[in-house]
Amino acid sequence: MTVVLSGSEVAKRITARLPDAVVEANDQAIVVESKSLFEVARYLKESPKFSFDFLNYIAAVDYYDYFEIVYQLTSTGYNHSLVIKTRCYDRENPALPSVVELWRGADFQEREAYDLMGIRFEGHPDLRRIALWEGFEGHPLRRDFL
């Protein structure tokens, strides 16, 4: 059975390494600054203590005030998992660093979030719509889409 790591415990280690990265943390998840997301992700993947070599999914949530992007990570070696989140306050032009470089599985997931939520992932090698066709107006999973 996969062990779910406590977010606040992991956050302490992240803060020791990257002081301004963590916004808040509880037992379930860690919320990190969007500009330091890539650094946090790289640390979690490459540090031998965590070695999160597998990205389960990327989810995007629309909370009206901000978009929240959720990443669930798993280490196949240690068999533990962790959820990290980040927030995008710019509704007109939300942008985040891409993690495709770290986990190839993020490719289609980020394209889906771009297609349906309109979040741009900077550094994605091929950011196109994936479910809808090119030329579709708007991003249908946003709460204000109608």
Where do contacts with another protein occur on this chain (CB under 8 A)? 131-133, 140, 145
Question: Least distance (Å) from another protein to the CB of residue 15?
Answer: 42
Question: Least distance (Å) from another protein to the CB of residue 116?
Answer: 10
Nearest to 141 by CA among 75, 42, 67, 86: 67
Q: How far apart are CA 85 and CA 87, in angstroms?
A: 7
Question: Least distance (Å) from another protein to the CB of residue 141?
Answer: 10
Residue 95 or 131 having the CB closest to another protein:
131
Residue 70 or 141 having the CB closest to another protein:
141
Residue 3 or 132 having the CB closest to another protein:
132
Question: Least distance (Å) from another protein to the CB of residue 27?
Answer: 37
Residue 11 or 60 having the CB closest to another protein:
60
Q: How far apart are CA 51 and CA 45, in angstroms?
A: 5
Report helix angle 7-17 to 37-46, nearest 10: 100
